Structure 1
Amino acid sequence: MQFIDYAEIEVEAGTGGDGIVAFRREKYVPAGGPAGGNGGWGGSVIFVANKNLQTLLDFRYARCFKADDGKRGGPSNRTGANGQNRVIEVPCGTLIYDRETGEILGDLVEKGQTLCVAAGGKGGLGNKHFLSNQNRAPDYALNGLPGEHRSLRLELKLLAEVGIIGLPNAGKSTLIAALSDARPKIANYPFTTLIPNLGVVRKPTGDGTVFADIPGLVKGAHEGIGLGHEFLRHIERTRLLLHLVDITSIDPITDYQTIQEELEAYGRGLSNRPQIIALNKVDAADEETIQFIKTELGNFNSYPIITISAVTKMRLEELLQIIWQTLELSRES
């Protein structure tokens, strides 16, 4: 399945049905009068969040969505049927923008949450509506009004409490596979992960927390270099960042600083998000190197620092305990 997190579409609500001109013609009703019914309302375009969807792929092939028009009124004061609404399902976490104004129309984050983005047109009035003492036989009716038309931009931001960040080959995919049932592609070359991977990690209480492996962050990611420009937006909803550093790389300190600079440059408060630093692959490093890097990183900030090995699952339980504690503190603050 392709991961598509951006789409531009057109939506158009239905036009209201026309009112009609009609008169009662019954044999034994000497003064029948006007009896033209009103038109029905046009259908609206409504978005609904579906937790079973993970991508905006469907909008790559369908770009225009129109609701049904209302039906015209009928004789004997019969109102026309309303047009059928057009219901569009999107993944939870979808932001909907008006392309022309840039206004955020809605943010669908909860299962079943709905948003009407284009209201259907009102049905026209039949001649019955215009009956008065001054006009006992109106011979005119109104046409239905057109429905709203909008150009929309959809952006998907994954709903995950914990975002795993780091340079390519830091071991993010290996870690999320070790912590959850996610099975991402893993190999020893940059950009193995081309889409964000989601995994649910169970807490001791039994409920789950969603972790996201955010791929492709490199120097210049906020400017579109590498893959990070496409996926930095997915970190915006996370409450905690788990910064994975490959302790066996040529310069782990520079690696760490590179990611921090990208978060700062991207903005949107990412650099102020609570973080945990995990030094990965410690099973392949000597103790002196490990202690030196921990000391150096400790000089930059007061984030918790833990040494782990995602491959051997060394100290992963301790890492999870720190994550649960940090999330709990962030809820209380």
Structure 2
Amino acid sequence: MLPTLRSACPRCHKSIASPLAAVVVSRGYSTALSNHDEDTDYSESFTDIVGELKRRKRKADSKRRQYGNTFVDHILVTVRGGKGGSGAAALQATLKGAGPSAPCGGNGGSGGSVYLTTSPSLSSLTTLKKRVIGGQGSSGSGAHKHGKRGQDVMITVPVGTIVKEIRREGEEERTIREEEELDLTEDELKMRKWKRWIISHPSAGGEVSFQEYKDAEILLKKEGRWKVLTPTFDQEPPIELDINEPIKEPILISKGGLGGLGNPFFNSPRIASRGFLPPIQTFEFELKLLADVGLVGLPNVGKSTLLRGLTGKKAEIANYQFTTLNPQIGVVRVFENGKWSGELNDGVEIQESLLEREIEDLSRTLGEEFPDIRNKVGGGRNDNVEKIRFTLSDNPGLLPQASENVGLGHSFLRSIERSPVLVYVLDLSKDSPINDLLTLKNELESYKAGLSDRANIIVLNKADQVEEQIGKDRIKEIREAIGEKSDIVTLSGKYNLGIKHLVNLLVEKVGTARANATIEADEKRKIKETNTKEGNSFGLKRLEV
């Protein structure tokens, strides 16, 4: 295979096809692209791995800020339903001397709730705020007018998000804890609670008798509104959601507080009750992308180039490490005639992104038509029948100790954890690609047991840069190490050589994975139907229309 790759390689052709290409070569872009400054020259012979990874993390973060990249796959969000409005202590207007006024205060409106839903247009948790609070209910008013309900708030996340409730604390528990530190007497504690939950008519001047407070407490206890404690995780299990499919109906995760009662409810027309403040909940949102195929490899092995060749997605490509800072997903559409949507002509070179932009700028300057170097030959919308389509994720390069979350380790590994098909991408031009393979397998297995077994396709990229015998020796070494359980594909992603064999393998693996997933889903559904229904987690239920 290697001689074929080298003989078909356009790098060996000395002729220059167009005047524009001659201008590009004359300007020396090929050498300029390889001469990077010290900040972007990543040496592979470093000894302080942890220090080097920290430096690369700072570099990656700097690039994110520079290019406005705001991909987020993990965030903690504080959620609270809206506070209920207070009831009104209002009196009807009467003629002078007509006797005492009748109570006419309305109840307070309930607070708005917080719901969770999904959107197919989202691929990151960037849109999430760190604090989400439902709308506050309006207070009641005179003439028996009840307060307006608070506005509901919707949290929208992409499919593939895992939601876990990690903390929950109510207002009553928080107040009790604070009062214990004040060392108050029992009477003082009782008075503080009365004033906290009961409001009075302005005519009372803030002075309410002991009996009025006592009667109000008895009535609120009958309604279950006096001592409302938030259930602990032992009493009500925390909310845990694994969103692996679109949510059809929004899910309630934090309910709004009840509104207070107006003065017609109480014996004394001078008092009403306040609205409830819902508990504060802290949720952990973790995004694990749902791509059918995940590319796994060290930095600068050509994963983004493969993404272009397979999907046509214009990913950023450059000859230095950490070009890809965030996961990128493309769609591969394979047709019945064997072609695919991102297919290029054999031997067409996929240029680096910087060079593409330079060529485009030169073409504008010279007034020439911008050459379409991609020159796709994949089937169009109407000339072929689609056989299968699947998603492909190009993930940032892994490094040693990524499983220990050094550098951006867990952030990268999280994006490939859910892909049913994983592909190792190795650089065949390196001195020891077998060591890179062992590093990748070790990091995947250390992060999650069994994850490395999911990768049974090994892509040896950059075969155009290797002499025939050297390449064969390295392939033999890899085959001896892994045995016959994995498929090895030798190709040149840059020149679109050997891609067809990879596409055929991916079609086979994805079809098998989907069939297994369907069987597993049916088994889970049967188990769920046979189990007895238990109570929902705290606040967890569908939106009732």
Equivalent residue in structure 1 for 2:121, among 52, 55, 58: 52
Residue 21 of structure 2 is matched in structure 1 by none
Corresponding position: 1:188 with 2:319: yes
TM-score (norm 1): 0.84
* Higher helix proportion (structure 1 or 2): 2
Corresponding position: 1:313 with 2:449: no
TM-align CA RMSD = 3.0
- Over residues 212-258 of structure 1, what are the superposed CA-to-partner deviations in whole Å (9 max), with x where a residue is unaligned? 11112122211234543321111111111011111111101111111
Looking at structure 2, the residues matched to 238 and 104 of structure 1 have their Cα atoms a distance apart, in angstroms, of 25
CA contact (8 A) 1:217 1:226 kept: no
Equivalent residue in structure 2 for 1:254, among 417, 422, 435: 435
Corresponding position: 1:105 with 2:173: no
Residue 145 of structure 2 is matched in structure 1 by 78
Which residue identity lines up with residue 53 of structure 1 in the other structure?
L
Equivalent residue in structure 2 for 1:159, among 267, 273, 290: 290
CA contact (8 A) 2:388 2:507 kept: no
- Between 1:192-201 and 1:220-229, the stretch displaced more is 220-229
- Over residues 267-311 of structure 1, what are the superposed CA-to-partner deviations in whole Å (9 max), with x where a residue is unaligned? 154223243111212233344444444443334240222222211
Residue 258 of structure 2 is matched in structure 1 by 122
What is the CA-CA distance between 1:72 and the residue it aligns to? 2.0
CA contact (8 A) 2:296 2:397 kept: no
Looking at structure 1, the residues matched to 148 and 396 of structure 2 have their Cα atoms a distance apart, in angstroms, of 50
Residue 426 of structure 2 is matched in structure 1 by 245
Q: Secondary structure, in 3 states, of the residue corresponding to 1:255?
A: helix
Residue 171 of structure 1 is matched in structure 2 by 302
* Higher strand proportion (structure 1 or 2): 1
Looking at structure 2, the residues matched to 248 and 104 of structure 1 have their Cα atoms a distance apart, in angstroms, of 49
Which residue identity lines up with residue 307 of structure 2 in the other structure?
I
**Structure 2: gaps spanning 5 or more residues:** 1-67, 169-232, 336-385, 517-545
After superposition, the Cα gap between the structure-2 partners of 1:311 and 1:26, relative to the gap in structure 1 and judged at 3 Å, is same
Q: Secondary structure, in 3 states, of the residue corresponding to 1:177?
A: helix
- Over residues 171-201 of structure 1, what are the superposed CA-to-partner deviations in whole Å (9 max), with x where a residue is unaligned? 1011001111322221222222222222111
CA contact (8 A) 2:82 2:133 kept: yes
Residue 285 of structure 1 is matched in structure 2 by 466
Looking at structure 1, the residues matched to 501 and 140 of structure 2 have their Cα atoms a distance apart, in angstroms, of 70
Residue 130 of structure 2 is matched in structure 1 by 63
Looking at structure 2, the residues matched to 74 and 273 of structure 1 have their Cα atoms a distance apart, in angstroms, of 64
Corresponding position: 1:145 with 2:326: no
Residue 83 of structure 2 is matched in structure 1 by 15
Residue 112 of structure 2 is matched in structure 1 by 43
Q: How many residue pairs end up in the alignment?
A: 324
Corresponding position: 1:95 with 2:162: yes
After superposition, the Cα gap between the structure-2 partners of 1:227 and 1:142, relative to the gap in structure 1 and judged at 3 Å, is closer
Residue 507 of structure 2 is matched in structure 1 by 324
Residue 218 of structure 1 is matched in structure 2 by 399
Q: Secondary structure, in 3 states, of the residue corresponding to 2:162?
A: strand
Looking at structure 2, the residues matched to 286 and 7 of structure 1 have their Cα atoms a distance apart, in angstroms, of 47
After superposition, the Cα gap between the structure-2 partners of 1:104 and 1:143, relative to the gap in structure 1 and judged at 3 Å, is closer
- Between 1:5-14 and 1:72-81, the stretch displaced more is 72-81
Which residue identity lines up with residue 172 of structure 1 in the other structure?
K
What is the CA-CA distance between 1:33 and the residue it aligns to? 6.9
Q: Secondary structure, in 3 states, of the residue corresponding to 2:495?
A: coil
Which residue identity lines up with residue 125 of structure 1 in the other structure?
L
CA contact (8 A) 2:432 2:474 kept: no
After superposition, the Cα gap between the structure-2 partners of 1:145 and 1:184, relative to the gap in structure 1 and judged at 3 Å, is same
Corresponding position: 1:233 with 2:364: no
- Over residues 43-100 of structure 1, what are the superposed CA-to-partner deviations in whole Å (9 max), with x where a residue is unaligned? 11223322223333345xx533322111123444433211001223333333333343
CA contact (8 A) 1:106 1:115 kept: no
**Structure 1: gaps spanning 5 or more residues:** none
Looking at structure 2, the residues matched to 263 and 139 of structure 1 have their Cα atoms a distance apart, in angstroms, of 68
- Between 1:254-263 and 1:144-153, the stretch displaced more is 144-153
TM-score (norm 2): 0.54
Higher relative contact order (CA 8 A, sep 6+): 2
CA contact (8 A) 2:109 2:140 kept: yes
What is the CA-CA distance between 1:206 and the residue it aligns to? 5.7
- Over residues 91-150 of structure 1, what are the superposed CA-to-partner deviations in whole Å (9 max), with x where a residue is unaligned? 3333333343795633344445644332110122334456xxxx7x87654321112312
